[in-house]
C-alpha cells in the first residue's frame, strides 16, 4: 500500500514571476499569476482525493489475519487524516482565491506591508509577512512551551 503523500506545498510546476523594474505590486498580471498557481494546486489536491477514494475502494480487503487487517486499517487511517489536512488546505486555497477576486491579496494582515512575490510563490496562502510570521511563531512557542 502506498504511503499517503501530503501536498502541503505549493506546486513546483510554474514559472516564477519576474516583475519589471518599478512594476506596481499586486497588479493584474501578478494576481493572475497567483490565481494560476492556486488553481493548479487545487487541481492537484482534488486529483489526490480522487486517487485516495479509488485506492480505498480497490484495496478494501477483509483479511482473515488480524495483523494484516490492522495494518490495512492503519494505512487507511493515515490516508484519511492526510486527506482531512488537505481538505482544510483546499478551504484556505478557496479563501485565498476569493481574496484575489476582492483585490485583497499579498499584504500582511498584521502590519499591512507587502508579503513579497517570492514568499507568496513558496506559500501562496500566506497572510503574514516573514517578520510577523516569525513573531507569531515565537509568541506561540512561548505560550505553548
14, three cell numbers: 510554474
Give the 3-state secondary structure of residue 114: strand
| Angle, alpha carbons 122-123-126 (nearest 5°) | 145
Q: Which residues have C-beta within 8 Å of that of residue 81, sequence separation ≥ 6?
A: 4
Helices (H) and strands (E) in the chain, counts: 4, 0
Percent of the chain with pLDDT over 90: 59
Q: What is the reported pLDDT for 5?
A: 46
Superfamily of domain 26-105: DksA, coiled-coil domain (1.20.120.910)
Taking residues 87-109, what's their average pLDDT? 96
pTM of the predicted model over 0.85: no
Percent of the chain with pLDDT over 70: 88
Span of 21-25, 83-87, 135-139 with lowest mean pLDDT: 83-87
Stretch(es) of the chain classified as CATH 1.20.120.910: 26-105
**Quick check: 2 pLDDT over 60?**
no
Taking residues 80-98, what's their average pLDDT? 92
Top pLDDT among 58 and 113 is at 113
Give the annotated binding-site residues for Zn(2+).
Answer: 108, 111, 129, 132
Give the annotated binding-site residues.
Answer: 108, 111, 129, 132
Q: From CA 110, how far away is CA 117, in angstroms rounded?
A: 18
**Quick check: 43 pLDDT over 90?**
yes
Q: Predicted confidence band at 14 (pLDDT cuts at 50, 70, 90)?
A: confident
Q: What is the reported pLDDT for 8?
A: 56
Amino acid at each position: 500500500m502506498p504511503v499517503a503523500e501530503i501536498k502541503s506545498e505549493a506546486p513546483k510546476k510554474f514559472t516564477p514571476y519576474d516583475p519589471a523594474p518599478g512594476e506596481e505590486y499586486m497588479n493584474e498580471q501578478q494576481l493572475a499569476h497567483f490565481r494560476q498557481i492556486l488553481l493548479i494546486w487545487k487541481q492537484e489536491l482534488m486529483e489526490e482525493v480522487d486517487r485516495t477514494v479509488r485506492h480505498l475502494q480497490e484495496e478494501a480487503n477483509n483479511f482473515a489475519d488480524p495483523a494484516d487487517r490492522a495494518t490495512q486499517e492503519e494505512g487507511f487511517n493515515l490516508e484519511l487524516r492526510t486527506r482531512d489536512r488537505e481538505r482544510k488546505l483546499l478551504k484556505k486555497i478557496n479563501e485565498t482565491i476569493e481574496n484575489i477576486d476582492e483585490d485583497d491579496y499579498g499584504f500582511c494582515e498584521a502590519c499591512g506591508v507587502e508579503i513579497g512575490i517570492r514568499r507568496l510563490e513558496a506559500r501562496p496562502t500566506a497572510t503574514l509577512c516573514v517578520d510577523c510570521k516569525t513573531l507569531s511563531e515565537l509568541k506561540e512557542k512561548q505560550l505553548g512551551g
